[in-house]
């Protein structure tokens, strides 16, 4: 099938196809799954920040970006990143299915021993990824989800609760 071959050339993998190892012959320790909807402007910065955050870490990784039916040139941005970095993989959905379905599609293609989901808009800072490695959270069959945690207490001035990044391991 020419479509299948083209898919591999674009960095795509079918979920049931064995993925090639990295250049050292290992599976990646960490798969970073990122749903993206109309995020073409954020993708280079996302890739750059993930690359910088993991530059000094002794772990292999892959970045799986799922284009959730974007109306802009998000897919072309994913292809450009793949051409520049073989650790980047793209999954393109036929239409906008929503964040959770896009995340599921990315998880289906992840081959790392641990998976971290992050938003393409950099709401979750890539700089926290090494913290997982140091704390032992990145271990085989880990799934780490980053998200906002809303603090319920109000200050004495009645100010609204603060928001902070929180991550959980399941």
Give the residue-averaged pLDDT of 84-95: 96
Q: Which of the four pLDDT bands, split at 50, 70 and 90, describes residue 26?
A: low
Give the residue-averaged pLDDT of 140-146: 46
Tokens 């793209």 belong to residue: 90
Q: What is the pLDDT of residue 141?
A: 41
The pTM of this model reads 0.69
The CA distance from 56 to 130, in Å, is 9
| Residue ranges covered by each domain of the chain | 26-169
Q: Are 67 and 93 in contact (CB under 8 A)?
A: yes
Spell out the CATH class of 26-169: alpha beta
Q: Which of the four pLDDT bands, split at 50, 70 and 90, describes residue 138?
A: low
Q: What is the pLDDT of residue 28?
A: 73
């Amino acid at each position: 099938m020419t479509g299948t071959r083209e898919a591999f050339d674009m960095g795509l993998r079918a979920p049931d196809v064995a993925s090639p190892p990295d250049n050292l012959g290992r599976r990646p320790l960490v798969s970073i799954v990122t749903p993206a909807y109309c995020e073409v402007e954020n993708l280079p910065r996302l890739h750059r920040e993930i690359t910088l955050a993991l530059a000094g870490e002794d772990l292999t990784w892959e970045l799986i970006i799922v284009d959730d039916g974007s109306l802009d040139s998000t897919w072309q941005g994913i292809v450009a990143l793949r051409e520049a970095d073989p650790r980047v993989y793209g999954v393109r959905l036929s239409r906008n299915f929503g964040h959770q379905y896009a995340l599921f599609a990315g998880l289906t293609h992840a081959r790392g021993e641990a998976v971290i989901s992050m938003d393409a808009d950099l709401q979750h800072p890539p700089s926290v990824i090494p913290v997982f490695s140091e704390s032992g959270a990145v271990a085989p069959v880990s799934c780490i989800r980053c998200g906002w945690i809303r603090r319920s207490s109000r200050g004495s001035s009645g100010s609204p609760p603060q928001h902070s990044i929180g991550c959980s391991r399941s």
